[in-house]
Amino acid sequence: MFLRKRARERIAGEKVLFERHRGGDNRLCVVYPNVYRLGMANLGFQAVYHIFESDPRVAADRAFLPDPDERAHIRARGERLVSFERGEPLGGFDVIAFSVSFETDYLNVLTMLRMAGLPLTRAERAGRNYPLIIAGGSAVFLNPEPIADFIDLFLIGEGEEMVPEFIARFRETGGLTGAERLRALALVDGAYLPDYFTPVYDGAGRIARVDYSGPCRPLVNRRLIRDLNRFTTASLILTEESVFGGMYLVEASRGCQWGCRFCAAGFMYRPIRYRSPANLIAEAERGLSERGVVGLVGAEMASVPGVADIASAVADRGGRLSPSSLKADCISPALAAALARNGNHSVTVAPEAGSERMRKVINKNLTEPEILRAAEMMMGEGVENLKCYFMLGLPEERDEDVVAIAELVGRIVTRARAQRRRVGHVSVSLNPFVPKPWTPFQWDAMQEAQELKRKIALVRSHLMRLDAGVELDAESPREAYFQTLVSRGDRRVGAILARLSAENRELPGEIWQGLKTIKCEAAAGGGAGALVDPDRFVTRNYAHAEILPWDFIDHHIEKWFLTSERKKAHYEHQTKPCDVTRCTVCGAC
């Protein structure tokens, strides 16, 4: 088989950094719903695979979304999707476990179920001898509802403790029937059984109530690991084909102290937790025996305790530390010098917004002098290439804020040249605002695609006036539309995903055309069985009193706190960074 040949080639190119086990009698396949090169760059996927694989009672395998040419081959030959290592049909496993980090991969979940020859919906599989289909990952514990009809059981939260508990309960319940077993598995803390929750809609199409038929309270506790030092999260399987193939990845933290009002990671992972500098240095040293570059992973790396010492330790051993993101005002001279010694010639500065006013709206806690100082400091240490990351279409945004993006980029370049710094390649990344659950902006709509295109053109026209070659990279508003749909949607979005999957709409342009057709049908009045208009979830503001699709998850964040932060945004008031030692206001600590 074509798939097996390519899998064998990929396995031959992998280096496994842990001891493999033969496994037990429970056959489980951990599935990443995107292609191999992305899946093998995902620490969460590698970590959960290792947890399952390390259990002597489990015979674990992997599976990935086939590459485009592989998908064409499967469809042309009528073949079934098979597992990566053993080449076995997915339908033959006891458990299929999806690890979903990005909501846009929800569509790929359905595509892979189809390729495996499995019925899509939980109702179609009920009472028959199909694998138990579970799902976890960061996308799932923000909002699992768009795929709730297709998954038997969700695991909501961080899996280091929850996954072993699930394995133990799965073995204990081997003698039960399908429905009885699911109810028993749902007793694992953090498990979400969609059958217990039935949303009821009012005449306006909003959620009027959610009927609950479970045994406990109608809330699902998001699981969280308080002490990250109890676990190591780093690369476990290395392959050059990964998008970070030249790096050894190490997770430094979970969460973020700054509380940017658009950022899901800053709220869903509360409270902020760091691994100790000693642990990170030791893990980086292990990584340098395998790769010359250590990728430090987390929401914001300049605030990690001891990060300058970590960078220095890596440089002392002839390696290079590559942090995932640095907040401009947290870059110290010691860190800049250490990164320069590491040989970093590119740096990303993320002001997010061009104007001081908008940075107050989004609670960036970052001033223009701090941005200019950071850029100047990094370029002064030898950095030549600069990438500036901004967002468009944010709540409370005005045209002058949009123009301010180009003006700020111009001042960064001018400042560097005035200091006789060598500026090589300058790029500006523009990304449409996508409202995310569990953030203060969860009630806000995404702006219309046409309005976003106008704003992108406005930035481009002003960048062209600069006396500097600046490259503009703008994310498609259509792609952001789909991301918003699956981020804010309820269970009715599942029918939209099922239709897109049935029509084999996989590329962004194909997905957009499918959504346009659905929107037109809804505008024409549809009929019996018509799908809900996607605009309901994308371009509509949610009311503060409205029941949100994800409200049943207990993230230990008070809803009034998120509402208060949204009001502060309107009045351009900032909130101080999290102090986990003294503050308990939001409810996470």
pLDDT of residue 581: 73
Q: What is the pLDDT of residues 255-276, one digit of tens each?
A: 998 999 999 999 999 999 999 9
Helix (H, G, I), strand (E, B) or coil at 199: strand
E strands, 538-583, in order: 553-554
Identify the segments of the chain with pLDDT beneath 50: none
Tokens of 488: 């804010």
Residues in the chain: 589
pLDDT of residue 340: 75
Tokens of 444: 């806000």
Rg over CA atoms, the chain: 24
Contact between 101 and 45 (Cβ < 8 Å): yes
Tell me the torsion sign for CA atoms 87, 90, 91, 92. Answer: positive
Class of domain 2-201: alpha beta
Contact between 424 and 400 (Cβ < 8 Å): no
**Spatial distance between the Cα atoms of 484 and 490, rounded to a whole number of angstroms:** 12
**Spatial distance between the Cα atoms of 65 and 132, rounded to a whole number of angstroms:** 19
Nearest to 296 by CA among 280, 312, 309: 280
**What's the pTM value of the predicted model, to 2 decimals?**
0.95
Contact between 26 and 171 (Cβ < 8 Å): yes
pLDDT of residue 330: 83
Cross-strand pairs, 560:
none
pLDDT of residue 184: 96
Tokens of 499: 């239709």
**Spatial distance between the Cα atoms of 351 and 458, rounded to a whole number of angstroms:** 18
Measure Cα distances from 474 to 82, 371, 481, 504 in Å.
37, 21, 14, 26
* Residue 561 CB burial class (10 angstroms; 0-12, 13-18, ≥19): middle
